[in-house]
Structures are given as structure tokens and as C-alpha cells.
Amino acid sequence: MASNKYQYELTYVISGVVQQNQVDDIVRKVNHLIESNDGDVLEVDEWGNQRLAYEIDRKRSGYYVNMYFKAPGSLIDRLERELQINDDVLRYLTLRMDEKMQRHYEREKKREAKKKEEEAAAEEEAEDETDDE
């Protein structure tokens, strides 16, 4: 029986008082949990340390991580349980992306790729001009 894979967006906040190697370890564990349970990590975007809008567990800052992945629906309960158990994770939010969210995600990816191409072309053009002089 093949289970359907859905696309998800997960944002979680790690306590701002943990060391960077612990942050990297938590991110690696979340990625491994997804990949080891028949999921595919599409993108991991670490936003870094940010001030929290309000105090959580007497902490004023947190390390934000946003990720996109495809996984069977049965994985989400296990993933959220692992995040809930981990004392260093202050908050998390998992969203199953509907068609509109997926279109927006794809559009943003194309826009970023186009912008990178334009920047690379401009940089190459600037190098050519300096070489001609």
C-alpha cells in the first residue's frame, strides 16, 4: 500500500540560549527523522536568532528554522511529538500546503532563480568591463 506524500511547511523556534552546535544537531535530527520515514526535505531555511514577540519559558530570543518537505501524513504526529518532547524547541507549526500555497512556493522559487541569474549576468558583465580596461 503506497501512502500519499503531501507537501508541508514546518517552522520551529529553538531556544536562543543553546549553542550553535546544539542548534545544528536539532536541525539535523529533524531532517533525519523526515528522511528516515519516507519523506523528502525540499528546503531548510535558517532565519537565525530573532527576538520573540513575547516571552516564552522566560526566554526573549529564539533561533528560527523554516523548512519545506514532502512526507506521508502519518509522519506528522511522530514529528510533532519529537518537537514537543525536545525542551530546546520552544514552538513549532506544521502546515499542510494546499494547491494555492504550492503555486506560491513554486512562483517564489522561480523568482529567486531568475534574480540569481540576473545577478550572475551583471557580475559577469562587470568582470568583462574590468578585463577590457
Residues 90 and 114 in one domain: no
* pLDDT tens digit at each of 133 positions of the chain: 456 889 999 999 999 899 999 999 999 999 999 999 999 999 999 999 999 998 988 899 999 999 999 999 899 999 999 999 999 999 999 999 888 888 988 898 889 888 888 888 888 877 777 666 5
The Cα 32–Cα 28 span in angstroms is: 6
Residues 63 and 17 in one domain: yes
Phi-psi region of 24 (alpha: psi -120 to 50; beta: other; left: phi over 0): alpha
* The three cell numbers locating residue 121: 549576468
Provide the 8-state DSSP code for 12. Answer: E
Residues 53 and 78 in one domain: yes
Residues 115 and 53 in one domain: no
List the beta bridge partners of residue 40: 70
**Count of structural domains, the chain:** 2
Residues 85 and 104 in one domain: no
Give CA separation, 19 vs 22, 31, 107, in Å: 5, 19, 35
Residues 53 and 74 in one domain: yes
Which long-range contacts (C-beta less than 8 Å, at least 24 apart) are formed by 25-31? 26/86, 26/88, 26/89, 27/65, 29/82, 30/65, 30/67, 30/79, 30/82, 30/83, 31/67
**Predicted local confidence at residue 130, as pLDDT:** 67
Domain enclosing residue 75, as ranges = 5-97
Task: Give the burial class of 98: count Cβ atoms within 10 A of its Cβ; 0-12 exposed, 13-18 middle, 19 or more buried.
Answer: exposed
pTM for this model (two decimals): 0.78
**Predicted local confidence at residue 133, as pLDDT:** 58
**Predicted local confidence at residue 1, as pLDDT:** 41
